[in-house]
Amino acid sequence: MSKVLVSDPIDQAGIDILSQVATVDVKTTLKPDELVSIIGEYDALMIRSGTRVTKEIIEAGTNLKIIGRAGVGVDNVDVPVATRRGIVVVNSPEGNTIAAAEHTLAMMLSLSRHIPDANASVKRGEWDRKTFVGAEVYKKTLGIVGLGKIGSHVANVAKAMGMKLLAYDPFISTERAEQIGCQLVDMDVLVQQADYITLHIPKTPETTHLINAAMLAKMKPTTRIINCARGGIIDEAALATAIKEGQIAGAALDVFESEPLAESTLRDIGKDIILTPHLGASTTEAQVNVAIDVAEQIRDVLLGLPARSAVNIPGLGPDVLEELRPYMLLAETLGKLVGQLAGGRVELLNIRLQGEIANNKSQPLVVAALKGLLHQALRERVNYVNASIEAKERGIRVIETRDAAVRDYAGSLHLEAVGNLGTHCVTGALLGDGEIRLTDMDGFPINVPPSQHMLFTLHRDMPGIIGKLGSLLGSFNVNIASMQVGRKIVRGDAVMALSLDDPLPDGILTEITKVPGIRDAYTVTL
């Protein structure tokens, strides 16, 4: 039975899900060296923000298949090292969406009406209404940096409060922004016009200190900034100076460059700043949601299924996975088939998306095809995470093309493998019920559902050859489940595709090629 280590506190609902498929150990006080010493026993590791999963921990986790972070970010996981080791890293990108968005809105309103300071004043026995005159958000301009799930929800609520919405996000279209109710603008325009600025972007080399002294200098003196995303996006020293000198009206921060927040000039500013200890996801509902989300993904991976929110599988988000799952299975099946037909070293894989498939994202299909192609050589060591890396290290070039023209099937996938032993190609399609069909092999039309054990022959289309092959297989006690011949012209070259109940015994392939008219034969295990 699989073993899962939970090294940070998570909701019991997540542990209950993991217990369906694994033995679960909850050890939340481990030091890094202690974690290194025991991680090799486990198939999965579930964490929150407390555990740092370093290169040393990952390399010691010789049985690890998945690392699950019950939250949005994976800053505390060495994702590149995990990827190279073929370990899936998942998070919960939507589990705390509402909690983070609501905290952002609460911070904005609290900052506008001086609620924390007014609360403290009354508790001290004071009644000082004049000091706490606030500002309305109605008809003010909110600048949203990042229109993902959280930013979009903030936009929806802010629009209902009567705010004008500007947005900066280089990865979405103008049409999508308009659907949300935002005017898409450049960052410079946003910071110059916004009365409130809220950040909803990851911390990357490009976004580190995005809000710096130069940006702050462009803002209006009435501008207020809210950051419930990631620490380090704002230059905290520059922000403190801007608030103290009246360059901007204030800020509300839930995240910081270094956490817990130690000595900082931010603490000394006074009533124009609100600081909370990373509470964006700290609701009862969010903690349950992220625990369930990540636990379900760990369960699925341990059962051999794909994760829906893997951060290190290229181009594969939960929405894409749901849409492309049948096509990914098709791509992987064709990859296994063409890899075994090629036999030797594959140097080039041509992938052509045909018909309606050509309108889909191609990267997950390419990864799935490579996983299938490398399966014969690497078996369980290749997966969606490391397939591209393994292919690159083996010198396999990938060429991707699209052809939207619809032929015999609404959508199909064509793979061609070029190797040291020759070139082979296969085409496959999905029927209406999702059933896979092999529709072409090496340019010969066929219509065959794939099976676990298959035999393909290249032969001369001539009387008696099917009977001779059937008799030969029968003499070795091999039972044929189905058989089909594909040909271009009568009595020309043809292929035969046979589904077998059992694998071929050793030596029979050589005997098959001795049958008059059969030029070559290939066995495939799917």
Q: What residues are labeled active site? A: 230, 259, 278
Helical (H) or strand (E) element with 326 = helix 318-342
Number of helices (H), then strands (E), belonging to the chain: the values are: 17, 22
Q: What would you report as the CA-atom Rg of the chain, rounded to the nearest whole angstrom? A: 30
- Whether the CB-CB separation of 272 and 284 falls below 8 Å is answered with no
Please give the full DSSP string across 184-239, using - where no structure is assigned.
E--HHHHHHH-SEEEE-----TTTTT-B-HHHHHTS-TT-EEEE-S-TTSB-HHHH
Q: Strand, coil or helix: what is 286?
A: helix
Tokens (6 digits) for 42 = 């486990």
Phi-psi region of 217 (alpha: psi -120 to 50; beta: other; left: phi over 0): alpha
**C-alpha pair distances (Å), 265 with each of 207, 237, 238, 481, 489:** 22, 7, 10, 76, 83
Tokens (6 digits) for 176 = 């999508």
Tokens (6 digits) for 73 = 């970010």
Regarding beta strands 518-525 and 453-460, do their DSSP bridges make them parallel or antiparallel, or are they unpaired?
antiparallel
Non-local (6+) Cβ contacts of 118 within 8 A are 132
CA 488-491-493 angle, to 5 degrees, is 55
Phi-psi region of 422 (alpha: psi -120 to 50; beta: other; left: phi over 0): left
Q: Indicate the DSSP class of residue 170.
A: T
Distance in angstroms (rounded) separating the CA atoms of residues 239 and 190: 17
Q: Indicate the DSSP class of residue 263.
A: S
Q: Strand, coil or helix: what is 163?
A: coil
Q: Strand, coil or helix: what is 331?
A: helix
Q: Strand, coil or helix: what is 445?
A: strand
**C-alpha pair distances (Å), 443 with each of 284, 400, 424, 440, 494:** 59, 19, 9, 6, 10
Q: Indicate the DSSP class of residue 360.
A: S
**C-alpha pair distances (Å), 212 with each of 217, 263, 292:** 9, 20, 38
Residue 239: closest CA among 260, 222, 224: 224
- Whether the CB-CB separation of 108 and 252 falls below 8 Å is answered with yes
